[in-house]
Structure 1
Amino acid sequence: MLKNYIITALRAFKQQKQHFILNLIGLSVGLAAAILVALFAQNELSYDAQQPHAERVYRIGQDFSKLGLSVIPIFNYTLGTQAIDYSQVEEVFGLTMVSLTREAMVDVQYRDQGYKLNELYGATPNIENFIDINTLAGNLSDAMSTPGSLALSESEALRIFGTVNVLGKTLQHEQGQYTVRAVFADLPSNTHFSFKNLVDVKHDPTNLMTNSSYVYLRLAPQADPIALADALSKQYFYEEMSGKISIELHPLLDLHFTAKSPFEMKAGGAKQVVMICAGLSVLLILIAGFNFINMTVAQSAKRAKEVGVRKALGASKAQLVTQFLAESVLVALLAMTIACVLVEFLLPQFNLLVGRDLVVNYASEFGLAIVVVALTVGVLAGLYPALFISSFSAKRVLSGDLQRGNTAIWVRKSLLTLQASLAIGLIIASVTLFNQLAYLQSLPLGYQTQQRLVISELPVQEVFTKQPSALINRLTAIDGVEQATIIDTRLTVSINNTLQPTWPNGEFSGGITPVIGSGFDVVKGLGLKLLAGRDFSQEFAGDWAARIDGVTTVGTIITETVAKQAGYSNVADIVGKTIKDTGRNVDMRVVGVVEDVKVGNVQDANSNIMFLCGFNYLAPVSEVILTVNQQQLPYIKQQVITALAEVSNIYQPKINLLADNYKALLKGDERISQVVLIFTGLAVFLTCLGTFGLASFATVRRQKEVGIRKVLGASRLSIVNILAKEFLVLVGLSVAIAFPLTYLLVGDWLANFNDRIEQVFWVYGAAAIVVAGITWLTVASLAFKAASTRPSLILRYE
């Protein structure tokens, strides 16, 4: 029986080649997109699921949102260990950012060759209780409890030594040496942890001010993380900080999607991207399924006599339904095979788009899921056409009555309307996404990104000095370097320090204001626009921070927003006034006012900034921003690398153009827009495919009408418009459906940005015109051919 079903299906495919090919292409494209997205979603949802007791592990975060800042994931490890006093906490683990503490050296030498230890962290000895890490050699726990010990990842061992057999080897640094006592396998990509080297770090129990560690708690099975976070908040933050800063406990399994701080070990994913991709892939499958239903129902007239004969010969409705379902499933399986070929071809480009390294394992549960989805799509897409065609009356069909009733017409029109609605909505969304990104890229930042070369993570003592250090002198002597500017903040990342100002009139601000420590000539070096006053200058020795009798006096340049917060509508009036922080005993004399500067990410940037000359509070590293001749950029970079190695023993430094750092902020939203654009193109393509199939059927069905109209003198263009009118009416209905829904969804996405565009009518009008135009051209391409046929060839048998 099965063999007969397959033979009959193949015969039907051969007789209806166009119908078969269109369905095969549509389902193949839809399934290929779904496989790629499912692979991406599976990877995103698997982050950190492999870690021991992952469902009970939480990371401590500090919520500064009531003070105008964000949630910071780093904490003081010594304070974090106090949580073990609570019965709900089973164990505490810490990873320390040594770059923020300088408790370990990242620049080392081996056989007179300099290296930087990439992604170096200090870890507590119980690391294997929190991270599923494969130790290849040595003992990781012992290494993390022995002073001067180093654990290398496999890739780092190969990079530095050329082999993984490195136990006992030493690396020299300025303060001594490291001894390699463990080697571990590189971490998998689906984890938020990102370290390549680990070192033993001792935490000073008396230092409770430095926040430099990621602190993880494993809670008891029945613990209440919300109640525990509240208890820790009351323990850690009291008196004037009570209610202003609080502790949050973030589930390990959610960190990949929820952790957005610039202090994360690596950039997380966006649940929004996963949801958008998943939604769009489902839409593509639905559109492909709609095409299948539409074209199969439209072609039902060609199968009507076959059904009538089969019924006359005794075939039951169940047998006919099974036959047509077998054809549908066979098409789906063939489409699945083609889709898998497409996936293998497109996967490298898709990996570049989503920033992952995905691989399809067909001999797995994922491969089985592909088959199940293909079969399900085949059954669901073919079920209605099978039931519809098998319901034909043998008597009516064989007597020449091929009327199919209004149900089939209603189904075809409804599905085509829904397809066009989806296409219009996706076009509007993609255009709006690109407009929003272009708007963000055009926003005034308050500082110049062009011709600025950023050298990151330089030790404070090497550059943050009142008189130019040896390193700064060497850098400014490079041909093509016009100026060197020193700041203690990464402009495209986040603010590191804040103060609580009391304004010149004695009024307390009631909040905190972000501050940036800088060197002289910061206005010129960053390209700030000076509104009043002057730049920091070596000619004014009092600009540089000085601690006298317990009070720090320092010159400050504030942004326009800060001046207005202080109550000065005319910003020039605040120049010469003093802003105080009574808690830290800091007197800040205003020497200048500049236009607002956006520091941080594009969605949550700070603009109320104060620049403090020579003021560096606890930050161990700084940035040097070189104003350069961009035509000499390769030469300058090489000279900078040489200068850092020779003067300060700093190897493999982080050097980037400031413009590139800013572009990186928009990378996530660019990926969203690219994904939407690709899926929009596919949706429009599949909609055109469906329209082509239905237009082909409609044109054949109305050939006699076309012939009679030509005999009566109708022009080809008028005939084309008559045939296209039916489809354009459906497009008009789809516009009425798509516009309000798209407006709400796109508006919700735009609400995530502080700076955003307004939705404009022309985008909606253009989307409707594009879909209507494509529909008209698709129908016209077929209708014009029919209208060009001689009427005698059509009507000769009438």
Structure 2
Amino acid sequence: MIANYLITALRAFKQQKQHFVLNVLGLSVGLAAAILVALFAKNELAYDSQQPNADRVYRISQDFSELGLAVVPIFNYSNARLALEYSQVEDVFGLTMVEFTREAMVDVRVREQGYKLNALYGATPNIESFIDINTLSGDLKNALSTPNSIALSESEALRIFGSVGIIGNTLQHQSGQYTVRAVFADLPDNTHFAFKNLVHVKHDPTKLGMNSSYVYVRLAPNTDVAALEKTLSERYYYEEMAGKISINLHPLLALHLTAKSPFEMKAGGAKQVVMICVGLSVLLILIASFNFINMTVAQSAKRAKEVGVRKALGASKTQLVIQFLSESVLVALFSTILACVLVELLLPSFNGLVDRVLFIDYVSPFGGAIFVVAMSVGVLAGLYPAFFMSSFSAKRVLSGDLQRGNTAIFVRKSLLTLQASLSIGLIIASATLLQQLAHLQSLPLGYQTKQRLVISELPVEDVFTKQPSSLVNRITAIEGVELATILDTRLTVSINNTLQPTWPNGEASQSLTPVIGSGFNIVKGLGLTLLAGRDFSPEYSSDWAYRENGVTKVSTIISEQVAKQAGYHNVADIIGKTIKDTGRSVDMLVVGVVEDVKVGNTKDASSNIMFLCGFSYLSSVSELILTINPHRLPEITTQVTAALADVADLYEPKINLLEDNYKAVLKADERVSQVVLIFTTLAVFLTCLGTFGLASFATVRRQKEVAVRKVLGASRVSIVNILAKEFLMLVAVSVAIAYPVTYWLVGDWLANFNDRITQDFWVYGIAAFAVAGITWLTVATLAFKAASMRPSLILRYE
């Protein structure tokens, strides 16, 4: 019996090749897209789930929102250890950024060859209680407990030594040497941890104000996290800081998708992107299923006589349902195989799009889920066509009567209306995404990105000096380098330091103001627009920070926004006035005002900036921004690399164009727009298939009407328009559904940006006309063919 069903199904596929190919194509495209996105979502949602007691581990963050700043995931490890006094806290683990420590060096030499230790962090010895880390050789706990010891990742050990059996080897640096005491396996991709090398770091319990560590706490089961946050906030912030700064405990399992600080170890994902992708993949499967239903029902006219004959010969309704369901399941099976082939072909490109390393193990629960979902789609999508066709009356279909009730027509039109609504919404969303991205890229930053080369992570003592250091002199002597500018802040990342100013009129600011330590000629070096005053200059020796009677005195160049916050609408009036920071005993003489400068990412960039000449608070690394002749970029990069190695023993430096750094900030939003564009294209394609299926059904159902109209003198174009009219009405209903929902969803997404576009109604119009045009062309293709047939062939038996 089963063999008979299969043989009959294969025979039906052979007789209806076009119908079979379109069904398989539609389902396979929808399934392939769903598999890719499900794989991505599975990977995103599984970040750090492999860590020990992951559900009870939290990262400590400091919330500066009340002071106008963001949540910062950096804390003091020694301070965090005090939390062990509370019974809810079982253990504390710290990862320290080595740029804040003088004893940890990242530039080393092995056999006279220089290397930079990538992603070097200091770690506390209890690391294995918090991170699932595989030690390949040596003793990791010993390495992190012993001074001047280091643990290398497998990739770093192979890069530097060519082997993992290197316990006892040494790496020389300016202050001494590291002894390799452990080698550990590289961390998997699905973790927010991003260290490649680990060293022992001493934490001074007397310096509780030095925030330089990512601190993690493991809490006891059933801990009231909100109550503990309040308790710790009251413990660490009191007197004038009470209520202004608070402690956040961020769940480890949520860090990848919800932590948005620029100080993250590596770029995280976005919950919004995961939800969009999952939603779109479900929609694509639904659209593909709708297409299957519509196209199968559209072919019912061609198989009506077959059903009538089978019933006349004694076939039961159950047998017919099983027959049509077997065909549906076979189509789903063929579609699944083709979908898996498409996935394997597209996976490398998809990995590049989402910036992940994904792969599929088909012999796994995920592979089993693919099969179950595909078969479920085949069964569920085939149920309606199966019951629809098996319900034909043998007497009526054999007499040529194929008219059906209004319910079936309503269902098919409703499905097509939903498909068209989704297509219109996705087109609007894609166009708005591209507009917003173009808007962000065109925003005035206040500084120039062209012709600027950035050398990152340079030690302060090597470049942040009043008189140009030997390293700076060597670099500025390179042909093609026009000017060198020093900063202690990465312009495209975030502000490192802040102060709470008291304005010249004696009024204290209620919020923190971001500050950037810089060298001379900052206006010229960054291409700032000077509104009043002058640039920092070596001609004014007092510009550089100096101490006098216990007070640090320094010249400052402020942004226009800071001048207005101080109460000066005519920015020239603040020149020569002094802004104070009484907490740090700093007097800042305003010597210049520039147009607002955007520092940080595009969504929450700071623009109320103060540049302080020669003043770098708690920062141990700097950036050197070179104004260059772009035609000599390769030679300049080579010579800068050599200068850093020869003069300062700095190896494998990070050298990038400032323009490229800024583009990297927008990369995540570009990925979102590309994903939505791809899904929009697929949705429109599948909608066209659905329209084709329903148009096929409508054309067959109305072929006698077409023949009569043609006999009465109707032209082909008029007949096409008559047949297309009902589909255009469905598009009109789709527009009414899509417009308000899309406007609300897109508006909610745009609200995440400080600088955003307004939604243009012409985009909505184009989306509607595009879907209407595609629908008309799809219907017209079939209608024109029907209108071209000779009426005698259709009416000869009437």
TM-score range, shorter chain: over 0.9
Deviation for aligned residue 1:794: 4.2
**1:374-389 → structure 2 map (5 Å cutoff):** 374-389=374-389
Shift of 1:224: 1.7
Distance 1:305 1:721 in 2: 30
Structure 1 residues 219-234: aligned runs within 5 Å: 219-234=219-234
The alpha-carbon deviation at position 646 of structure 1 amounts to 0.5
Distance 1:631 1:607 in 2: 32
Within 5 Å, give how 1:658-677 maps onto structure 2: 658-677=658-677
Q: Distance in 1 between matches of 2:273 and 2:103?
A: 38
Amino acid at match of 1:414: S
Once the two structures are superposed, residues 223-247 of structure 1 have per-residue CA deviations (whole angstroms, 9 ceiling, x without a partner) of: 2222111111111111111111111
Aligned residue number for residue 710 of structure 2: 710
How far, CA to CA, are the matches of 1:320 and 1:640 in structure 2? Answer: 78
Write the distance in 2 (CA, Å) between the matches of 1:654 and 1:738.
Answer: 48
Give how far 1:796 is off. 4.5
Give how far 1:2 is off.
1.6
Report the counterpart of residue 443 of structure 2 in structure 1: 443
1:760-788 Cα deviation digits (max 9, x unpaired): 11100001111111111112222223333
Q: Which residue of 2 aligns with 1:212?
A: 212
State TM-score, norm by structure 2. Answer: 0.98
Q: In structure 1, how many angstroms separate the alpha carbons of the residues matched to 2:116 and 2:402?
A: 79
Distance 2:222 2:780 in 1: 67
2:560 equivalent in structure 1: 560
Q: Which moved more, 1:219-228 or 1:167-176?
A: 219-228
Tell me, yes or no, if the aligned pair for 2:297 and 2:697 is still in contact at 8 Å.
no
Which amino acid counterpart does residue 332 of structure 1 have in structure 2? A
Name the CA shift for 1:495/1:227 in 2 (closer, same or farther; >3 Å). Answer: same
Q: Report SS of the residue matched to 2:52.
A: coil
Partners of 2:469 and 2:422 in 1: how far apart?
62
Is 1:629 paired with 2:655?
A: no
Is 1:332 aligned to residue 332 of structure 2? yes
Whole-angstrom distance in 2 between the partners of 1:766 and 1:324? 40
Where does residue 732 of structure 1 map in the other structure? 732
Q: Deviations over 1:383-407 (max 9, x none)?
A: 1111222222333334443221111
Name the counterpart of 1:43.
43
2:231 partner letter = A
**CA separation in 2, counterparts of 1:261 and 1:127?**
23
Tell me how far 1:311 sits from its aligned partner. Answer: 3.0
Tell me what 1:85 maps to: 85
Using the aligned pairs only, state the percent identity. Answer: 79
Q: Is the 8 A contact 1:229 1:247 kept in 2?
A: yes
Paired position in structure 1 for 2:170: 170
- Cα deviation for residue 630 of structure 1 reads 0.8
Alignment partners' CA distance in 1, 2:553 and 2:177:
40
The aligned residue for residue 188 of structure 1 is 188
Q: Write the letter of the residue equivalent to 1:63.
A: D
Deviations 1:313-341 (A, max 9, x none): 33332222222211111111110000000
Q: Which moved more, 1:4-13 or 1:143-152?
A: 4-13
Query: Does 1:751 pair with 2:751?
Result: yes
Q: Matched residues in 2 for 1:159 and 1:56: separation?
A: 36
1:792 deviates by 4.3
Deviation at 1:453, TM superposition (A): 0.6
Q: Which segments of 5 or more consecutive residues in structure 1 lack a partner in the other structure?
A: none
Q: How far apart in 2 are the matches of 1:101 and 1:260? A: 25
Deviation at 1:10, TM superposition (A): 1.4
- How many angstroms apart in 2 are the aligned matches of 1:600 and 1:69? 12
- How far 1:793 sits from its partner (Å)? 4.4
Aligned to 2:519: 519
Kindly provide the amino acid, as one letter, of the partner of residue 669 in structure 2.
D
Whether contact under 8 Å (1:294, 1:411) holds in the other structure is no
For 1:147, what is the secondary structure of its paired residue? coil
Task: Kindly indicate whether the alpha-carbon contact (under 8 Å) linking 1:22 and 1:693 is maintained by their aligned counterparts in 2.
Answer: no
User: Could you say what secondary structure the match of 2:531 adopts?
Assistant: strand
Q: Which amino acid aligns with 1:685?
A: F
Q: Which runs of 5+ in 2 are unaligned?
A: none
Q: CA deviation at 1:795?
A: 4.1
In the alignment, is residue 773 of structure 1 matched against residue 744 of structure 2? no
Within 5 A, what are the aligned runs for 1:169-568? 169-568=169-568
- Cα deviation, 1:388-437, whole Å, max 9, x if unaligned, reads 22222333334443221111111111111111111110000000000000
Find the aligned partners of 1:780 and 1:151 in 2 and give their Cα distance.
69
- Mapped to 2, the partners of 1:649 and 1:429 lie a distance apart of 51
Q: Is the 8 A contact 2:298 2:696 kept in 1?
A: no
SS of 1:733's partner is: helix
Residue 616 of structure 1: aligned partner? 616
Q: Which residue of 1 aligns with 2:69?
A: 69
Aligned to 1:126, what secondary structure does the other structure show? helix
Aligned residue type for 2:779:
V
SS in 2 for 1:448: coil
Larger deviation, residues 183-192 vs 687-696: 687-696
Q: 1:494–1:601: 8 Å Cα contact kept in structure 2?
A: yes
Residues 481 and 626 in structure 1, CA contact (< 8 A), matched pair in contact too: yes
Query: 8 Å contact 1:449–1:659 — kept in the other structure?
Result: yes
Q: Hey, what's the Cα distance between the residues in 2 that align with 1:632 and 1:332?
A: 58
Which amino acid is 2:507 matched to?
A: E
Alignment check: 8 A CA contact 2:57 2:217 kept: yes
- Residue of structure 1 in register with 2:638 after alignment: 638
Query: What's the offset of the Cα at 1:60?
Result: 0.6
Q: CA deviation at 1:495?
A: 0.6
Q: Which whole-Å CA distance do the structure 2 matches of 1:307 and 1:708 have between them?
A: 28
Shift of 1:312: 3.4
1:797 Cα deviation (Å)? 4.7
CA distance in 1, matches of 2:794, 2:476: 85
Give SS of 2:193's match.
coil
Q: Which residue of 1 aligns with 2:577?
A: 577
Q: Distance in 1 between matches of 2:700 and 2:384?
A: 23
1:524-582 residue CA offsets vs partner (Å, 9 max, x unmatched): 10111000111111111111111111101110111011100011111110111111111
For the residue of structure 1 that corresponds to 2:125, the secondary structure is coil
- Cα distance in 2 between the residues matched to 1:640 and 1:626: 10
SS state at 1:423 partner: helix
Q: Is the 8 A contact 1:520 1:538 kept in 2?
A: yes
Give the letter aligned to residue 233 of structure 2: S
> Equivalent residue for 2:598?
598
Amino acid at match of 1:523: V
Distance 1:691 1:347 in 2: 29
Structure 2: distance between partners of 1:656 and 1:175: 28
Query: Does structure 2 conserve the Cα–Cα contact (< 8 Å) formed by 1:487 and 1:517?
Result: yes
The range that moved more, 316-325 or 355-364, is 316-325
CA-to-partner distance for each residue in 1:600-621, whole Å, 9 max, x for gaps? 1111111111011111111001
The 3-state SS of whatever aligns with 1:412 is: helix
Length-normalised TM-score, structure 1: 0.98
Considering only aligned residues, what root-mean-square deviation do their CA atoms show, in Å?
A: 1.2
**What's the offset of the Cα at 1:101?**
2.5
CA deviation profile, 1:338-378 (whole Å, cap 9, x unmatched): 00000000000000000001011000001000000001101
1:58 paired with 2:58, answer yes
8 Å contact 1:521–1:537 — kept in the other structure?
A: yes
Alpha-carbon separation, structure 2, partners of 1:492 and 1:130: 32
CA offsets, 1:660-705, max 9 Å, x none?
1111111111111000000000000011111122223333333333
Cα distance in 1 for partners of 2:201, 2:507 equals: 43
The alpha carbon displacement at 1:380 in A equals: 1.1
Aligned length: 798
1:103 corresponds to which letter in structure 2?
Answer: E
Q: Between 370-379 and 311-320, report the one with greater CA deviation.
A: 311-320
Distance 2:368 2:509 in 1: 62
What is the Cα deviation at residue 16 of structure 1? Answer: 2.0
Offset of 1:506 from its aligned partner?
0.6
CA separation in 1, counterparts of 2:450 and 2:588?
A: 30
* 1:85 CA drift (Å): 1.0
Q: Which secondary structure state, in structure 2, belongs to the residue aligned with residue 58 of structure 1?
A: strand
Paired amino acid for 1:151: A
Verify the 8 A CA contact 1:437 1:669 in the aligned structure 2: yes
